[in-house]
């Protein structure tokens, strides 16, 4: 399938699709899922093709794949709130030196 066909099926220009491919523009989880559906591959396969999972363990790969699936149906406003929450949790973890889980208890 050509880039033009994929772009048409997801409702973006071919130039926009190329910007996603070359990481000039960020891609939302929902858009990534749309592209994966058009190509008939799991969304994680698109991420794996970038080599981004080589730096993380397989367990993280599986969790990331599950998150992409879950987040594909979430509204943009909810995604923005989740991202803000995750940034806060990440900064708390960096400041405390421990991994923070729900209820601020260390993860095991």
pLDDT tens for each residue of 13-53? 999 999 888 878 888 888 888 998 999 988 777 777 666 55
Q: Model pTM?
A: 0.49
Phi, psi for residue 96 in degrees, rounded to 5: -95, -20
Closest CA to 80 of 19, 43, 29: 29
Residues in contact with 54: Cβ distance below 8 Å, sequence separation at least 6, in sequence order: none
Q: Which residues pair with 106 in a beta bridge?
A: 100
Closest CA to 30 of 55, 20, 56: 20
* Domain boundaries of the chain, sorted by first residue: 3-104
């Amino acid at each position: 399938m050509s880039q033009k066909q994929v772009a048409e099926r997801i409702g973006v220009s071919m130039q926009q699709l190329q910007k996603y491919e070359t990481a000039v523009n960020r891609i939302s989880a929902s858009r990534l899922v749309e592209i994966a559906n058009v190509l008939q591959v799991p969304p994680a396969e698109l991420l794996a093709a970038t080599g981004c999972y080589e730096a993380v363990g397989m367990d993280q790969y599986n969790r990331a794949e599950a998150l992409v699936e879950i987040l594909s149906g979430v509204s943009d406003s909810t995604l923005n709130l989740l991202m803000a929450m995750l940034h806060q949790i990440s900064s708390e973890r960096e400041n405390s030196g421990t991994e923070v889980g729900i209820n601020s208890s260390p993860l095991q």
